[in-house]
Amino acid sequence: MTDLHIYNARFVDTNIKKYYPHIDLSTLEFYEGFLKKCWTEKYSFPKTYKIEISMDHSEILNTEGKRLCCFIKPFEKYKNLEFEKIFGFTNNCEDYDENKIVAIEYTSDNIDDIKIY
């Protein structure tokens, strides 16, 4: 199982095909893991979500020059604002889709803020 610890990152939940036109998303291999996300203080206790993670194509650049860390998709539904924000779901996950794929990208100032174990 993989743990993904994030303090600061860019979550691309819409237009993935626009930013990664050269990747066939249907060919990604996903593995169970946990996303641990801190929104406020870097060393605060993170919230943990069970997700699926794909490291396929990690470290490539998107059409805007942002470096990809990995792709994630939900494993189970969490009805809270943080989870909904990460995956771009509406209030109470009314539009929950277990196949929704989100790209997690590094930004120029957060390379040390994403750790994969």
In the chain, where the domains are located:
2-116
Give residue 109's pLDDT band: very low, low, confident or very high (50, 70, 90): low
What is the residue whose two structure tokens read 């691309």?
A: 12
Is 38's pLDDT higher than 70?
A: no
Q: For residue 1, what are the β-bridge partners?
A: none
Q: Is 86 exposed, middle or buried (0-12, 13-18, 19+ CB in 10 A)?
A: buried
Task: Compare 49 and 43 and report the one with higher pLDDT.
Answer: 49
Mean pLDDT over the full length of the chain: 80
pLDDT on residue 76: 93
Is 79's pLDDT higher than 70?
A: yes
* 82-91: average pLDDT: 89
Task: Compare 5 and 77 and report the one with higher pLDDT.
Answer: 77
pLDDT on residue 74: 94
Give residue 90's pLDDT band: very low, low, confident or very high (50, 70, 90): very high
With beta carbons less than 8 A apart as the criterion, state whether 48 and 76 touch: no
pTM of the predicted protein model = 0.82
